[in-house]
Structure 1
Amino acid sequence: MKKNKVISAEEAIALIRQNDVVTTTGFVQSCIPEALHAALEKRFVETGAPRDLTLIMTAGAGDSKGLGTGRLHHEGLLKRVIAANFGRMPKVAKAAQDNKITGYNLPQGVISQLYRACAAGQPGLFSKVGLHTYVDPRHGGGRVNTVTQDEIVKVVEVDGEEWLFYTATKIDVAFIRGTSADPAGNISFEKEALTLDCLAQAMAARNNGGIVIAQVERIVDDGFLLPKDVRVPGILVDCVVLAEPEMHRMNYGVQHDAALAGQIRVPVAGMKKMPLDARKIIARRAAFELPPNGVVNLGVGAPEGISAVANEEKVTPYITLTTEAGAVGGVLASGSSFGAATNADCVIDQNQMFDFYDGGGLDMTCLGLAECDQHGNVNTSMFGGRLNGCGGFINISQNARCVVFAGTFTVGGLETAIEDGKLRIVTEGRSQKFLPQVEQITFSGSYAQMRSQPVIYVTERCVFQLTDEGLELIEVAPGIDIERDILPHMGFRPIIKQPALMDARLFRDEPMELLADLLNLNLSERVSYDSERNILFVNLEGWHARVKSDIDDLRKVLVGACKKAGQRVNSVVNHDGFRINENLYDDYASMIQYLAANYYATTTRYATSAFLRLKMEEALNRRGLAPHVFERKEDAHAFVDGLDKKIRRASTAIASAA
């Protein structure tokens, strides 16, 4: 006969031994097996056992005030922690900072994928995630204090490329959570917002000879659960604990939301419009980087506003928002429900989402920043004396095709006003974010440059871009004075060449018509033809090529204009204020090569940006094309006119000779 695995929380926790390695599920405030954490805390407080546990977890799982893993702060309960986030268990973080326990802060996706390595009996995980950050053993190896000595991250070389090897830690106990369980321990997740890594965690503990304890909210009879609804089979589960409703909330702010669980779909058209303030300006400017028909990840804080802006501008159908926790599509939730989504297309396991992210599946991410330096390095993991942790930041920022860091320029009491389309700083923030050197490198600017990864930094008053020379100021808000409002509040002087004004639409309390920009609906208006001079004028001033499809759209418009002209044309292209993502220069040069071979008699272009001219010349030279990139419009026009005269004289000479 099948064993009935349903027991009390106290009986389940009694199975944990001293020095066990315990892993637990949960993401921020969602899907936390609170009854198991509470029972473990209660047993230790009352009996002093079990002692010296190792805790392994991915994202923070708590309310930052003592719930979730925050319950495990009691001295002697933990001796080691391996986690992506310490911010939601501040007393545990404090113990680590005080050298009372050993600890490692590793990327969330790495820990998530290590569960699978453990399950498969593998010694660890090879990954490029973490290279050139504080996780790299050359920069600390993810150790959070001085008493942590063991090296669990190594640099290795495979076929001439550097990789990090993360050592797997075998798991003795897994806390997982689902909705329903039958007596045999089969677990379904029908009322959960996320599935996270429960299957991998259970398999890792089971295959190591450990125990798996599952918290659920109801027990069903044998045969009730359909095979495809079972996400964790009973063969992996040792104990099932039935939790009281209060200990099995969907998250700390919501008892249950059927839309977040994917049980129903609800109308979302009435999303509240954001007020026009600094946060909305940042979200709006970041939204201009959204890739049409692309896959996007948004971080917490200022980046969350992009979702509201996208809805207001009616571009939501043209992008797919995702969370590292596993939600794909729909409207991303915020607050206590962060990580889930209303009306999601699907929910996959967290480790599978990180497979997708690490492999380059993200077209864009927008993440927050706590500190940034002159080299473009960003810190979100340890600052201001606080051990926060990286979460999924390193996986996401290193592997997205385009990265936008977003946040206010200063922090702590910042007040701004928008008046007549201009930004005014009413009260400056007490603390600077742009520093000579970040306290810890969570994102490496130099590594991004090595891989030609496009990176910009958006604030309410200005925008920076990562270049080969460092951080360059490329846009300034109307009403903002560089010498008064920017430079005195930075710890370094950025590269300043010819920054443009931020788009005036950002500072008006009306729709920006962002959809037309993202879909290049008005691109044809940028092209005009002078039949008398046979010159095709292409005005790309302020245009941004974000993804390859933007270049494809431009190619179609130019080919159409050339066909209409009925002959090979001389083209003059204005690249002032033109932006192209670093990884698209070769695609752009390919388009020019095609046009030169089929439609252009000659072409020339001008741009005041020396950096853009250099990159354009390099890309064209690689394809054997004459660059003809000038700094001034007059020089570009003179080149075409001079060439046209030469052609006319040659034609006349040929005609005379005939």
Structure 2
Amino acid sequence: MRQITATQAAALLQDGDTLLIGGSGGGHAVPDALLAAVGERFRRTGEPRGITAVHPVGLGDGKTRGAGHLAQRGLLKRVASGTFVNSPGIARLALDEEIEAYTMPQGAMSQLMREMAAGRPGLLTKIGLHTFVDPRLGGARQSARATEDLIELVRFRGEDYLFYKPYQVNVAFLRGSAADEDGNISMEHEAVTLEMLSMAQATRRMGGIVVAQVRRIVPSGSLHPKMVKVPGILVDAVVVDADQWQTYETQDSPAYSGHLRVALEDVPRLPPGPRRVVARRGALELFEGAICNLGSGISTGIANVAAEEGILRRICLTNEQGNIGGAPASGNEAGAAMSPDAQVDQPYQFDFYDGGGLDLAFLSFAEFDAEGNVNVSRFGGRIVGPGGFINISQGAGSVVFGGTLTAGGAPKAVERVEQVTFSGPYARTRGQRVLYVTERAVFQLGEAGPELTEIAPGADIEADVIAAMGFRPRISPALRRMDTELFAEGPMGLAAKLQGRPPRAALKRFAMAQAAE
């Protein structure tokens, strides 16, 4: 194993190289010291130029760290990522047409790393069909300069699929907790493990260079083999950053890494307001044993409501980065989870999602339209990207989109969304149950688009709901008032309500097993 400095690692990149970067969101396993060294080298020397950066998850602190270190004119030629939300500098370069910008489903990119490692031609999947990722609707492009087709629409066995093409990787920057003297990398203090192994395997297969950033070096043979996430045979060099934090905000949380179990009931209570109302109405969809995903934004409040109601241990909350159980973190630390029951690699989590493993998905919306389409990826002059949204929303049995009906007085229910991140018509053909929950009304996807099914107590249909929308929805003949307890101060007795609801997912699996015998 060769130990080098971050400056030496940055010098490995040549003009036009493709750099594969591990990590997630607000600092989870992000090799920040390596990225910072690349940014510093470019400021000092003007090199390297025209590199392609590939990372399945958005990287950054929402300011200048993570992928933000690379957000310099001339350094980047192309960026392919799940989202730019963590790195506004990258989004600005895309908006200014300074780079070729693509945002793709996080799960598809994660699984593609595994395909590349195996030498397969690419990833064939239905994930992304009928969204802006579909070549018929844009091919994941977020800038006019992005002219190459990175995704193809193919016909296979009489059905439409998307084919995600592989990348030729020159250098991979990964991160772990420790490296032994043979280069074996552990990740025992990280909140996520992601696809670090697949990235290393893919890069090695292509003859590229794998560099791992770690906090410390330990003697050979001191790492338990089950702790080793990336074996030393795949690692070319190690960079030690003794000041490496677990995230950009937390130096070390044993609850994130699984070294400490904390009381899940300690999750803070949501303050009164629209966010609390939306989260509480979404939580009414829960049932005993439900396996769920919580998206970012307003939908993370489901965990707070479940804790307040004392039902957090009676459901299973997951996140796409690989945490199963516990209480998913929110804000800048989304991707971690407090006291998870299990942590699996991200590609396998998305296998579970894509295969229909989720009973419920709670996701936020930036806008939804008259056809039931939802947009979270590009709106209001911002490029965000889909992250795991497309995998999650297409794979879940039921989807609950949450958000306020207006933002700054402007409607979020519009005639036509700016970018389709979720297709209402496609969901309808697949029999998904889809709700759009706001603080003053609830809609359900019907044959003609979102149908108004519930309205807040005291609210007027025309003045308070339809006047705040950009289209006129169909009004259900069974329209009712939203439960008054959603707007009350104390708990709404959700624990007792769950007792009367059968664990539908478990019963379904049991029935399928019985039928197979």
Q: Hey, what does 1:179 align to over in structure 2?
A: 177
2: CA distance, partners of 1:222 / 1:233: 12
Q: Hey, what does 1:652 align to over in structure 2?
A: none
Tell me the matched-pair count: 510
Q: Hey, what does 1:310 align to over in structure 2?
A: 306
Superposition deviation, residue 551 in structure 1: 9.5
1: CA distance, partners of 2:438 / 2:507: 25
> Partner letter of residue 501 of structure 1?
R
Contact map agreement 2:289 2:506 (CA 8 A) in 1: no
Contact map agreement 1:6 1:183 (CA 8 A) in 2: no
Q: Hey, what does 1:396 align to over in structure 2?
A: 392
1:17 aligned residue (14, 19, 34): 14
Alignment of 1:472-621 (within 5 A): 472-498=451-477, 499-520=479-500, 547=504
Alignment of 1:287-326 (within 5 A): 287-326=283-322
Superposition deviation, residue 549 in structure 1: 6.4
2: CA distance, partners of 1:467 / 1:497: 10
Which stretch shifts more, 442-451 or 285-294?
285-294
1: CA distance, partners of 2:286 / 2:310: 13
In percent, how many aligned pairs have the same letter?
Answer: 48
1:368 aligns with 2:364: yes
Contact map agreement 1:365 1:403 (CA 8 A) in 2: yes
2: CA distance, partners of 1:141 / 1:301: 26
Q: Hey, what does 1:380 align to over in structure 2?
A: 376
Superposition deviation, residue 385 in structure 1: 1.1
Task: Show structure 1 runs of 5+ residues with no match.
Answer: 413-429, 522-544, 553-658
Contact map agreement 2:34 2:213 (CA 8 A) in 1: yes
1:346 aligns with 2:325: no
346 and 35 in structure 1: CA distance in 2 versus 1, 3 angstrom threshold = same
- What SS does structure 2 have at the residue aligned with 1:259? helix
Contact map agreement 2:401 2:435 (CA 8 A) in 1: yes
Q: Hey, what does 1:269 align to over in structure 2?
A: 265
Q: Hey, what does 1:471 align to over in structure 2?
A: 450
- What SS does structure 2 have at the residue aligned with 1:228? helix
Superposition deviation, residue 244 in structure 1: 3.4
Cα RMSD over matched residues? Answer: 1.8
Q: Deviations over 1:432-484 (max 9, x none)?
A: 10000000000000000010000000011000000112110000010111111
> Partner letter of residue 238 of structure 2?
V
Contact map agreement 2:216 2:242 (CA 8 A) in 1: no
> Partner letter of residue 203 of structure 2?
A
160 and 75 in structure 1: CA distance in 2 versus 1, 3 angstrom threshold = same
Contact map agreement 1:286 1:366 (CA 8 A) in 2: yes
Superposition deviation, residue 337 in structure 1: 2.2
Larger radius of gyration: 1
- What SS does structure 2 have at the residue aligned with 1:269? helix
Q: Hey, what does 1:583 align to over in structure 2?
A: none
- What SS does structure 2 have at the residue aligned with 1:311? helix
2: CA distance, partners of 1:117 / 1:170: 12
Q: Hey, what does 2:133 align to over in structure 1?
A: 135
Contact map agreement 2:323 2:343 (CA 8 A) in 1: yes
Q: Deviations over 1:189-247 (max 9, x none)?
A: 111111111111111111100001100000001111111111100000001000131xx
Q: Hey, what does 1:43 align to over in structure 2?
A: 41
Contact map agreement 2:22 2:175 (CA 8 A) in 1: yes
185 and 348 in structure 1: CA distance in 2 versus 1, 3 angstrom threshold = same
Contact map agreement 2:264 2:307 (CA 8 A) in 1: no
With structure 2 as the length reference, what TM-score do the two structures score?
A: 0.96
Superposition deviation, residue 548 in structure 1: 5.9
Which stretch shifts more, 512-521 or 159-168?
512-521
Q: Hey, what does 2:104 align to over in structure 1?
A: 106
2: CA distance, partners of 1:551 / 1:120: 35
Superposition deviation, residue 546 in structure 1: 8.9
Q: Hey, what does 2:235 align to over in structure 1?
A: 237
Q: Hey, what does 1:115 align to over in structure 2?
A: 113
2: CA distance, partners of 1:340 / 1:483: 42
Q: Deviations over 1:543-567 (max 9, x none)?
A: xx99466899xxxxxxxxxxxxxxx
Task: Show structure 2 runs of 5+ residues with no match.
Answer: 510-517
Alignment of 1:618-629 (within 5 A): none
Runs of 4+ in structure 1 over 4 Å off: 548-552
> Partner letter of residue 297 of structure 1?
N
Superposition deviation, residue 154 in structure 1: 1.3
2: CA distance, partners of 1:84 / 1:271: 28
Superposition deviation, residue 276 in structure 1: 2.9
- What SS does structure 1 have at the residue aligned with 2:413? coil
With structure 1 as the length reference, what TM-score do the two structures score?
A: 0.75
Q: Hey, what does 2:416 align to over in structure 1?
A: 437
1:199 aligned residue (188, 197, 200): 197
Which stretch shifts more, 265-274 or 285-294?
265-274
Contact map agreement 1:520 1:550 (CA 8 A) in 2: no
Contact map agreement 2:266 2:307 (CA 8 A) in 1: no
Contact map agreement 1:251 1:336 (CA 8 A) in 2: no
Q: Hey, what does 1:612 align to over in structure 2?
A: none
Superposition deviation, residue 134 in structure 1: 0.5
